[in-house]
Chain A
Amino acid sequence: MPVNFDSEYAVQVDREGTGRNACPTVEVWESEMVSKHVNEELSAYCNGALTTAESQQVAEHLIGCIQCRADFEQIKLGAKLAEQIPQFAAPASLWANIEAQLDTPVDVQPTVQLSGRYGQTHSGRMLRFAAIAAGLMLAIGIGALWLFTRESRPFWEVARLDGAPLVGSSRISDKGQLAVGEWLETDGASRAQIEVGTIGHVEVDPNTRVRLVETKPTEHRLELARGRMSAKIFAPPRLFFVNTPSGIAADLGCAYTLEVDDLGASLLHVTSGWVAMQLRDIESIVPAGASCATRPGIGPGTPYFADASESFKAALTKLDFDEGLTDDQRTAVLNQVIADARHRDTLTLWHLLYRVKGQQRERVFERMALLAPPPKEVTRDGCLQLDEKMLHLWKGYLENSWIGDSGFKKAGGKPVGGEQWAVGSRRKKWSLDGGHLPEVKKQ
């Protein structure tokens, strides 16, 4: 939709305190790729009313612009609220009132005399014929209804990469469609690619079963029941989700692989950007180069870098998922994690602060402070009491070492704010973004 900028649209005076001018009035960090703010296009973007090229432009801008992203969150919330709009049933008396005022005589239409015609013959053959015809009509009706229902459901395009993937019970040739509610299944020899609206794509590996749960401008959601998929998403944070039996992967602008085994355990590995792995109130924030396992009934484990030592990873797995550990055994595996932790493994230690208690938390803090001393605003007591602001300030300083050369580094090591992650407790927002940005500069 080429948006026509007429005078009312262009002026956009904040009469109701709802809109705002494009120029930021607070300290804002922006990416170099930011050109013109897109806050005027956000509703159209949210409602899928832009062309693919326009949507792409808006998505690109949103990834780099904190201010427009904050606006987008606002618009998205407004759209979700508007979707709840209640409708009213007209009063039963309305037609009677209208009819009373109608002077027009009733135009009696000749009715189709099917019953009369068949009634006159009373022929068993004719009755059978009528029954068959009625049955056929019913079947055609049901078929048409099914087709209508199916075609009116939102869908994603699917392309066959190898073999013969199935959508529902039908094999797709080179191209197909995956409607909301439908399963895409690959066998040992087949692969497929799903286009996630205009925001990216998902490659589905062999022996995988995936379902399209929801697709709307404010949320795209897949369910991965088993197998392996790779996602490349170019969109603002928290627009694309993948449900697994033991956690939900929330995209924060990234590329990743996600696999689920037959027992429902999953493993996320992020190759670019960030992903949040969550279940109920537990959340792990996973940057590029890191992984996060989940287990049914437990949820996401502590994230770790793939290049950490094997003993570190083995001890962490026990700590996260071995529910039969005695206190002594638990202390021993935590000691192993602490001993093997490198500077970069503060990613794991930072998450562990929320997941251990008492003296164990103290030891984790001490190791972290040794590897990466906290900024002066962050105190030992604050961290041990899980002061959200302090922990996230420290996290902001640590992120550069976590992100490394992945291309999602912040300038100057300064946290640029945003969504704050409270692992083991509810998420809280205290500023504009999670620092999950491309190279940024202060304007």
Chain B
Amino acid sequence: MEQRAVMAEPKIDDRVIEGCQRGDREAFRELFEAYKDKVFSIAVYSMSGDQAAASDVSQQIFLKLINSIRHFRGDSAFTTWLYRLVVNACIDEQRKRGRLLQLDDNPIETNHDRCPQERQFARLEVSEQVQTAINELTPKLRMPILLKYGEGLSYEEIAEVLECSMGTVSSRLNRGHQSLAKKLSHLRAQL
């Protein structure tokens, strides 16, 4: 599956959300296009790199979204509401699979089969190693990292999505950062 360094912030306005609430298929499509990569990325990490499983989870998430968006009242930002749905669906899926994804449970695809030219790029190698290290974090530490650095959410938004305090977010990010630094200290010079 293609990897991308950074994804643009989706531009979804009230019109699209209202369209989805009315059952407008085109509005759904617009919403889907805006968030598909973000949702899929979180799912990939939550499924320890199993992209087929991530695709199934993403499908479930969007179907759930389509069915429940009429309940969205705008009490929180749409993205917060969406990410909560994504996080909960990923947790449910992990539970359904009877495991909390842990280290070595299902190692992420590390693209070792890439062509030699591609592997020459140091940046890609860094990102591969980061991907593996993030995957090896416990779900508790992984999700705040994904929401912060993958989705660009603020501490307050992450707290809202994960339904915990900002102190907890701060603490988990602290531990996540330290864990990444410890595992990947050899990459210091390449950053």
Give chain A's interface residues, CB within 8 Å of chain B: 1, 3-6, 8-9, 12, 16-19, 39-44, 46-47, 49, 71, 74-75, 77-91, 93-95, 97-99, 101-102, 104-107, 109
Contact = CB atoms under 8 A, between A and B. Distances in A.
Interface string B40-55: 1100100000010011
A8 B165 CA distance: 10
Contact of A9 (B154, B167, B178): B167
Given A49-B155, A85-B150, A80 B191 contact: yes
Contact of A82 (B2, B134, B154): B134
B77 interface: no
A423 to B, nearest CB: 18
B173 A43 contact: yes
Given A43-B170, A87-B37, A101-B63, A18 B5 contact: no
Contacts of A9: 165, 167-168, 170-171
Contacts of B178: 18-19, 71, 74-75, 78
B127 A78 contact: no
B149 A109 contact: no
Contact of A74 (B29, B155, B177): B177
A47 B62 contact: no
Q: Is the interface of B mostly helix, strand, loop or mixed?
A: helix
Contacts of B23: 104-105, 107
Interface string B143-183: 00110111000111000000011111011011111111110
A43 B4 contact: no
A94 B36 contact: yes
Nearest to B173: A43
A79 B177 CA distance: 6
A90 B171 contact: no
B105 interface: no
Contact of A78 (B40, B62, B164, B177): B177
A18 B146 CA distance: 18
B36 A95 contact: yes
A49 B154 contact: yes
Contacts of B6: 87
Given A85-B130, A102-B28, 19 more contacts: A3-B170, A6-B168, A9-B171, A19-B174, A40-B170, A44-B155, A78-B177, A81-B177, A81-B180, A81-B184, A84-B123, A85-B131, A86-B127, A87-B37, A88-B41, A91-B1, A91-B51, A98-B32, A102-B63
A89 B181 contact: no
Nearest to B172: A8
A89 B59 contact: no
A88 B184 contact: no
A102 B174 contact: no
A107 B167 contact: no
B37 A4 contact: no
Interface string B1-24: 111111100000000000100111
Given A82-B134, A89-B4, A90-B37, A40 B174 contact: yes
B90 interface: no
A90 B39 contact: yes
A148 to B, nearest CB: 10
Contacts of B86: none
B179 A90 contact: no
A153 B19 CA distance: 31
A84 B150 CA distance: 9
